[in-house]
Amino acid sequence: MRSEQDIERSFKQANLQVTIGAERDGRILDELVEVQCKSASPHPALRPASRSWALSLAAVVAVVIVIALLVSRNGPPEPEPAPSRPQIVSRIELATAISLEKAFRQGGIEAVEKQYKETFGAFRADAKTPSVDELLTHLENEITDLKR
Partner 1 sequence: MAIGIRRLGVVLEDRYLVWRLKQGSRDALCRIYGKYRDDLLRLAVSLSNETTLAEDVVQDVFVAFIGDAPQFRLTGSLKSYLATCVANRVRNANRDRRRREQVGLDEIQSVASESVRPDQWAICSEELERAARAMALLSYEQREVIALRLQGALKFRQIAELQGVPIKTVLSRYRCGLGKLRSLLNGEVIRCDRSEISRSL
Query: How many residues interact with partner 1 (rule CB under 8 A)?
Result: 30
By the rule CB under 8 A, 11 interacts with partner 1: yes
Q: Residue 64 to residues 12, 58, 68, 72, 146: CA-CA distances in angstroms?
A: 71, 10, 6, 12, 50
8 lines the binding site for partner 1 (CB under 8 A): yes
How far is residue 98's CA from residue 143's CA, in Å, rounded to a whole number?
A: 9
Q: To 5 degrees, how large is the angle CA 82–CA 85–CA 91?
A: 120
Per CB under 8 A, which of residues 25..54 are in contact with partner 1? 25, 28-29, 31-33, 35-36, 38-40
Distance between CA atoms of 75 and 63, rounded to whole angstroms? 18
Please pick, from the candidates 17, 84, 87, 129, the single residue that binds partner 1 as defined by CB under 8 A: 17
Q: Which is nearer to partner 1, 32 or 49 (CB)?
A: 32
Q: Which amino acid is at 29?
A: L
- Using CB under 8 A, list all residues that contact partner 1: 1-4, 7-8, 10-13, 15-21, 23-25, 28-29, 31-33, 35-36, 38-40
